Amino acid sequence: MRLRDAKEKYVNPERASKYRARNSEDTRRSRREAGLVLRALSTFDLLPGAKVLDVPSGAGRWSKLLTDRGFDVVGADYSLEMLEYASEFAPGASFVRADGFRLPFAEGSFDLVFCFRMIHHFEAQAVCGTLIPELLRVSKRFVLASFFHPLSMHGLKRRLSSMISGKAHSRFSLPPSEIVSASLGAGARNVTFFPEGRFLHELWLAKIEK
């Protein structure tokens, strides 16, 4: 998917409302994802009051989880529709309209920059060349970002069904080694990974430390 397409996708009110409905449900996937995020967060030494950027904040599910843990959360998203949903769902956070590739914050503004379900919408060049360096720029200490691992049963199933249906696929996977080299190249000193389910699920988290 081209940069502009992924960014504009949720500006469409119908799509934004569908996404909110899907992500506010208590599904197996949402529980699995929350378990993964909490597992990764338990390895951070962040105190209540730490400044966290949730980008893209979508309909606000992670902004809520993060404010519930006492963090001082700013949510950022390109879609005004999604921002409206998010501020209803996570009233304890503040929200700004922003492009994740060009964040309107000074260097080191946040203790943690959290980026869930964004990277897989963009090609490796945009992610490694621009997005990861930008997330690291506005972070003082950590970035926690999800991405799709290339080797998984679910990813294979998705690619096969898009081949059979003839529909162009709009999700990109990225090898962990590329995340490591982009991060180290942008000044990070360590990267660790949290798989959702190695070889089964494609979603992984990368914890990037500055």
Ligand X SMILES: C[S@@+](CC[C@H](N)C(=O)[O-])C[C@H]1O[C@@H](n2cnc3c(N)ncnc32)[C@H](O)[C@@H]1O
φ/ψ of 115, rounded to 5, equals -135, 100
Instruction: Establish if 99 lies at the interface with ligand X (CB under 6 A).
Output: yes
Instruction: Establish if 155 lies at the interface with ligand X (CB under 6 A).
Output: no
Site size with ligand X, rule: CB under 6 A: 18
Name the amino acid, one letter, at 204.
W
Residue from 89, 95, 101, 110 in contact with ligand X (CB under 6 A): 101
CA 180/CA 199 separation, integer angstroms? 19
Q: For the segment 67-96, give every residue that binds ligand X (CB under 6 A).
A: 77-79, 82
Instruction: Establish if 63 lies at the interface with ligand X (CB under 6 A).
Output: no
Bridge partner residues of 72 (DSSP): 51
φ/ψ of 52, rounded to 5, equals -125, 135
Q: For the segment 10-49, give every residue that binds ligand X (CB under 6 A).
A: 10, 23
> Beta strands 94-97 and 72-77: pairing type?
parallel
Smallest distance from ligand X to CB 189, Å: 26
Nearest residue by C-beta to ligand X?
Answer: 58
From 41-49, 57-65, 137-145, 188-196, span contacting ligand X (CB under 6 A): 57-65
Instruction: Establish if 64 lies at the interface with ligand X (CB under 6 A).
Output: no
Smallest distance from ligand X to CB 60, Å: 8
First to last CA, the chain: 30
CA 164/CA 137 separation, integer angstroms? 41
Smallest distance from ligand X to CB 99, Å: 4
**Residue 153: both structure tokens together:** 């049963």
Taking the mean position of all CA atoms in its chain, how far away is CA 109?
Answer: 18
Smallest distance from ligand X to CB 210, Å: 22
CA 177/CA 93 separation, integer angstroms? 34
Instruction: Establish if 7 lies at the interface with ligand X (CB under 6 A).
Output: yes
Where do contacts with ligand X occur on this chain (CB under 6 A)? 6-7, 10, 23, 56, 58, 61-62, 77-79, 82, 99-101, 116-118
